[in-house]
Amino acid sequence: MTSEELDIAFNNAVKSINEHTEPFPADILLRLYAYYKRATNDADIPSGGKPHISAFKTNALFQTRGLTQDEAKQLYIEAVNQYFLYRK
């Protein structure tokens, strides 16, 4: 897959997640959050009003620390495809 094709597939995956109206399981959301942040090169330590949520986000980012942007995009796409394929 070329870089351009990867970007298109990533943007389509992001769009499908943003347009989905049903709630997502927390583990899926955290994985998508971390992949998205790495893919967009925005992996700053999260902050917010709820420390426990920030801790989960920080942990998810920590688990993806060795990924390149392209690897994170590919993993995001795969996670989205798997979610929509196997959801009930």
What is the predicted pLDDT for the residue at 86?
A: 80
How many independent structural domains does the chain possess? 1
What mean pLDDT is reported for the chain? 90
What is the predicted pLDDT for the residue at 88?
A: 53
> How large is the greatest C-alpha to C-alpha distance in the chain, in angstroms?
40
Rounded Cα distance between 78 and 80, Å, is 5
Rounded Cα distance between 47 and 4, Å, is 32
Task: Give the predicted TM-score (pTM) of the model.
Answer: 0.88
What CATH code is carried by the domain that includes residue 78? 1.20.80.10
Rounded Cα distance between 88 and 73, Å, is 25
What is the predicted pLDDT for the residue at 85?
A: 87
What is the predicted pLDDT for the residue at 43?
A: 63
Query: What digits encode the pLDDT tens for the residues 11-54?
Result: 999 999 999 999 999 999 999 999 999 999 886 777 667 778 88
Amino acid code (one letter) for 32: L
Q: Residues of the chain with pLDDT > 90: what percent? A: 66
